[in-house]
Amino acid sequence: MSTEAAPQFRDYAKADTISLAVRDHYRKMRERQTVDYVQRMKKKYLTFDKPMHVWDAMERLNALVDVSDPDLDLPNVQHLIQAAEGAREAGEPDWMQLVALIHDMGKVMYLWGSDEDGTSQAEQWGLVGDIFVVGARLPDSCVYPQFNELNPDMQDPRYNTPTGMYQPHCGLDNLELAWGHDEYLYQVLKNHKGNTIPEQGMVSVRYHSFYPWHTGNSYTELLSEKDAQYKEWIKSFNRFDLYTKRPESFDLDSMKAYYQPIIEKYLGTEPLYW
Ligand code: FE
Ligand code: FE
C-alpha cells in the first residue's frame, strides 16, 4: 500500500524560483488588467481572421510553458492531453474529453501577442492565470490579495465597490473578466459555425480560470440564479484541469489518432478562425 501523501496543487506559498516568477506574474496582472485594458484587448484580438485547425493549434502549444502555473513546467500541450486523458479514464462523454483537450488552447494568442499586451511567451499577464472581474472591487479571495491595491481601477469610484459598473445580480455572462486565454477561446468557438459543443462545455472553457468565483465564492452581489448551475459545471470540469497534472509526457501523434475524430464530430473539418 502506498503511504505517499496526495499531491498538493496550487501552493502559492512555496519560495522557490518557480514561485517567485508566479508571484511576479500576478503582481503585473493585478496592476495592468483594468477596464480600459480589457476593452482594448477585446477589440484587438477578437478579429476572427486567422484560420488554424485545432490540432495545429495544439502543436503550437508545444513551445509554450505557462508561467502562472506552480504545478507544471511541461509544454502546455502536455497539460491538455493529460486533462483529456483524465476525462477519458473517468468515463466522461467524448465532448467532455474534447473540452479538456482544448480548454487552454486560447493560449495560442501568444503567436500574435506582444510583451506590451502581456500576451507573449515572455510576458503572460494578459494570457494566463486566475482571472477576476474588472470594473468591480477586487476580492480578498484573489491569489496574492496584497496586490489588489495596485490596480488603478481600485482608486476609481465607478469601479471600486462590490457591484462597480454592473447591475446587481446581472449574472456571469454580463461581466467583464480579466483578459486571457479563456475568453479568447470561448469567443473563437462561439464564432465557429460548425460548433456543437454543449453549453456545459462552453461554460467550462469560458470560466475555468475564474477562481475567486468558483473556488473563492466571491462576487455574490453580481451573480444570477443561473450561475449556480455554471458553478457545478466548472467544479466537474476542474477535476481534469487540476488533478491530472503529471511530470510525464504523451506522444502527440498517437494521441491525435484518438482525438481527431472527436474534434471533427463537434467542430467539423473547417479551421477555427482566431
Ligand atoms: Fe486555463
Ligand atoms: Fe488548464
CA of residue 39 to ligand 1 center, whole Å: 20
Ligand approaching nearest to the C-alpha of 241 = 2
Distance 100 CA to ligand 1 centre (A): 10
pLDDT of 34 > 90? The answer is yes
Ligand closest to 79 (CA) is: 2
Q: What is the value of pTM for the model shown?
A: 0.93
SS3 call for 195 = coil
Any idea which ligand is nearest the CA of 211? 1
Inform me whether the pLDDT recorded for 1 exceeds 50.
Answer: no
CA-closest candidate to residue 184, choices 22, 19, 42: 42
What does the alpha-carbon distance between residue 188 and residue 191 come to, in Å, rounded to a whole number? 5
* CATH code that applies to domain 52-266: 1.10.3210
Average pLDDT, the chain: 93
Outline where DSSP puts E strands in the chain: 51-52, 272-273
Ligand nearest to the CA of 210: 1
With CA atoms as reference, report the closest residue to 63 among 52, 50, 73, 77.
Answer: 77
Is the pLDDT at 76 greater than 80? The verdict is yes
Domain boundaries, the chain: 52-266
pLDDT computed for residue 66 by the predictor? 84
Q: State in Å: Cα 76 to ligand 1 middle.
A: 10
Instruction: Give the model's pLDDT for residue 90.
Output: 96
Confidence of residue 99 (pLDDT cuts 50, 70, 90): very high
The enclosing H or E element of 206 equals helix 199-207
CA 73 to ligand 2 centroid distance, Å: 13
| 240 CA → ligand 2 middle, Å | 8
Q: Quick one: what percent of the chain has pLDDT higher than 90?
A: 83
Residue 266 backbone phi and psi in degrees, to 5: -100, -20
Least confident of 8-12, 35-39, 102-106, 201-205: 8-12
pLDDT at residue 2, as a whole number: 40
Structure confidence by residue, pLDDT tens digits, 175-184? 999 999 999 9
Return the ligand number nearest the Cα of 206.
Answer: 1
**What's the average model confidence in pLDDT over 53-75?**
86
